[in-house]
Amino acid sequence: MKNKIKAIVIFFILSLIMLSTKIMAQTNLNGQQYTNTSIIIITNNSHFGYGFSITIYNGLVYIYYTELQSSIATINGLIFNGTEEMNASLPNFNDLGEGSPGLFELNNGSLMLLWGGVPMGSYSLNNLTILLQASILNNNVWGPVINLTNNGVALSYYSDGNYIYLVYEHIISLTYNNTILEELTLSGNVIKSLNIPNITGIVSANNGLIIVQFVNSTYGLININNGDIEFLNATNAGFVNNSLYQFYDGVLTINQNLTFNLPIYEGAFPISWNNGYVIIAWRPGLLSVYYWNGTELQPIVNYTTQFTIIPKATILNNNLYLAWFGLNNISTGQGSIYMAISPLPYQIIQYNNTTTTNNTINNNYNNSAISTSNTSSYNSIQTTNTTSNKSSSSLIPIWLIILIIGVVVFIILY
C-alpha cells in the first residue's frame, strides 16, 4: 500500500512538472471545427508535447509520430501518395519505449530517422538511460537500429544533413541545469562538445550554427565551432534554405531584410516555394496559410482549431501537407494529430525543402544572419480581428517525462 501511495505521489508531482513547463493558454474544448478541406486524423492517441516529424522523400510524404500504448511511448508512421494513405514501415525497435521521431534527408540522398529510446532494463531517476538512436531507409525498408549514444539522457536532436546535433545530460535533472550540446558524425562519433546549461531543445541547425531554446523560453543561435551564443529576439526561429527567420510580436522576419506583419498570430514560419514563400501562422484556435509571390501576401486557407501546438508542413506536387496537434483533454494532455492537404497557387519552381529537414544549406554568415539595408515589409490579409491570450511554446520533450513516469511507477509497484 505504501508503494502505491508513493507511486501516486510521484505521478502527481511529475505531471505537475510536465504541465508547468509547457505553454499555458485558454482553450475551447467544445469540439474541433474546420473551415475548409477534409481533415485526416493521423492519430487520436497522442499526448501534449509528443513529437512528430513530416518530410518528403522520393515523391512521397512521410509522417512519423509518437503515441502512448499501455503507458509506454511508441513510434508509428504513415506515408501519403497524393491523398492516398498507407502505413509506413518501422525500424526494428527493441527498446522499452521510443519517442520524438525526427526525419532528415542526408546530403547523400538517404532518409534518416532519429529518435530517443529507453533500452530494456531496470531504472530509477538516477540511472535512467535514453539513447539517441537512428536508422537509414533503404529500398523502402529501414536498416538496423544504430545507437548513436551509449549512456546518458538524450533530450533533443537535429540534423542538417551533414552532422547530428544533440542536447543531453549525463543524469536527468528535470531542470536542465547540466545540459551538454554536441556535434556528432552520422555514425555517432563526437566532434565537438560544449557545456551549455538550461537548453531545453534544438529548433534547427545550419552547418554548425544551431538554434536552441532555453528553459526560460528564450532562443539562442550557437556557433558549435567556437561556442559563441547570440540571443535572438524571437518567440520562434529557424532556417529556411540559407536564411535565418525569426518571429516576434506579430512580425515574421526572413534574413533581416524581408518582414511580414502578422499581428493576430503568436507564431509563424516560412517554406520556400514557387519563387516565394508559403507562410504558416497560428494562434490558439486559428491556423492559417499564406502565400507570398514576391510582391504580395495572399491568404490561402484558415483552419479553426480547439488548440494548436507548433505545426509542421511540407510541399509536394503543388500541394501543402500541413499537420498539427489538437488538444482534446487539458487535464490529461491527450490529443490528436491532424493532417490537411491543400492545393497551392500554380507552381513555377518548387524548392525541395521541408520544415523538418534543411538540405544542402550554404552558410553565408559568421554566427548570425546577414545584415542588409534593403528591407521590404508586407501585411497579412486578414478580415478576422480577434485576440487571444499569448502562449509561450517550449521544446521540452514531454514524452520523455511521461516515459519516466511509467518507468518509475512500474519499478515501485512491481
pLDDT in tens, 328-385: 888 888 889 999 999 998 654 443 333 332 222 233 333 333 233 345 666 765 433 3
Q: What pLDDT sits at residue 387?
A: 27
Lowest mean per-residue pLDDT among 12-21, 80-89, 310-319: 12-21
CB 15 within 8 A of CB 22: no
Q: What pLDDT sits at residue 405?
A: 53
CB 94 within 8 A of CB 381: no
pLDDT, average across residues 192-216: 96
pLDDT, average across residues 7-18: 38
Lowest mean per-residue pLDDT among 43-57, 177-191, 212-226, 264-278: 43-57
For residue 78, pLDDT beyond 60: yes
CB 231 within 8 A of CB 218: yes
Vertex 208: Cα angle to 351 and 170 (nearest 5): 120
For residue 287, pLDDT beyond 80: yes
What is the rounded average pLDDT for all residues in the chain? 79
Q: What pLDDT sits at residue 62?
A: 98
For residue 81, pLDDT beyond 80: yes
pLDDT band at 326 (very low <50, low <70, confident <90, very high): confident
Nine-digit cell string for 227 = 561556442
With CA atoms as reference, report the closest residue to 168 among 194, 186, 146.
194
Per-residue b or e along 266-296, where b marks 16 or more CB atoms closer than 10 Å to that residue's CB? bbbbbbbbbebbbbbbbbbbbbbbbbbeeee
CB 338 within 8 A of CB 322: no
Vertex 41: Cα angle to 331 and 43 (nearest 5): 55
Q: What pLDDT sits at residue 236?
A: 92
Q: What pLDDT sits at residue 168?
A: 95
pLDDT band at 57 (very low <50, low <70, confident <90, very high): very high
- For residue 332, with 0-12 CB atoms within 10 Å meaning exposed, 13-18 middle and 19 or more buried, which class applies? exposed
Q: What pLDDT sits at residue 6?
A: 40
Phi, psi of 361 (to 5 degrees): -85, 125
For residue 177, pLDDT beyond 90: yes
Q: What pLDDT sits at residue 404?
A: 54
Sheet holding 243-248, edge to edge: 236-240, 243-248, 251-254, 258-261, 376-379
Lowest mean per-residue pLDDT among 67-76, 170-179, 322-331, 371-380: 371-380
pLDDT band at 163 (very low <50, low <70, confident <90, very high): very high
Reduce the secondary structure of the chain to three states and give it as a string.
CHHHHHHHHHHHHHHHHHHHCCCCCCCCCCCCCCCCCCEEEEEEEEECCCCEEEEEECCEEEEEEEEEECCEEEEEEEEEECCEEEECCCCCCCCCEEEEEEEEECCCCCEEEEEEEECCCCCCCCCCCEEEEEEEEECCEECCCEECCCCCEEEEEEECCCCEEEEEECCCCCCCCCCEEEEECCCCCEEEEEECCCEEEEEEEECCEEEEEECCCCEEEEECCCCCEEEECCCEEEEECCEEEEEECCEEEECCCEEEECCCCCEEEEEEECCEEEEEEEECCEEEEEEECCCCEEEEEEEECCCCCCCEEEEECCEEEEEEEEECCCCCCEEEEEEEEEECCCCCCCCCCECCCCCCCCCCCCCCCCCCCCCEEEECCCCCCCCCCCCCCCCCCHHHHHHHHHHHHHHHHC
What CATH number is given to the structural domain containing 407?
Answer: 2.130.10.150
Q: What pLDDT sits at residue 330?
A: 82
pLDDT, average across residues 132-160: 95
Q: What pLDDT sits at residue 412?
A: 46
pLDDT in tens, 293-304: 988 999 999 998
Number of domains the chain contains? 1
Q: What pLDDT sits at residue 106?
A: 96
Q: What pLDDT sits at residue 329?
A: 84
For residue 406, pLDDT beyond 70: no
For residue 142, pLDDT beyond 70: yes
Q: What pLDDT sits at residue 25?
A: 25
According to DSSP, the residues that pair with 69 across neighbouring strands are: 72
pLDDT band at 155 (very low <50, low <70, confident <90, very high): very high
Does the pTM surpass 0.85? The reply is no
From CA 325, how far away is CA 309, in angstroms rounded?
Answer: 6
Q: Please report how many Cα atoms fall inside a 13 Å half-sphere around the Cα of residue 166, on the Cβ side.
A: 30
Q: Give the β-pairing of 376-379 and 258-261.
A: parallel
For residue 119, pLDDT beyond 80: yes
For residue 59, pLDDT beyond 90: yes
Which residue range is the domain that position 307 belongs to? 2-413
Q: What pLDDT sits at residue 26?
A: 25
Nine-digit cell string for 292 = 507570398
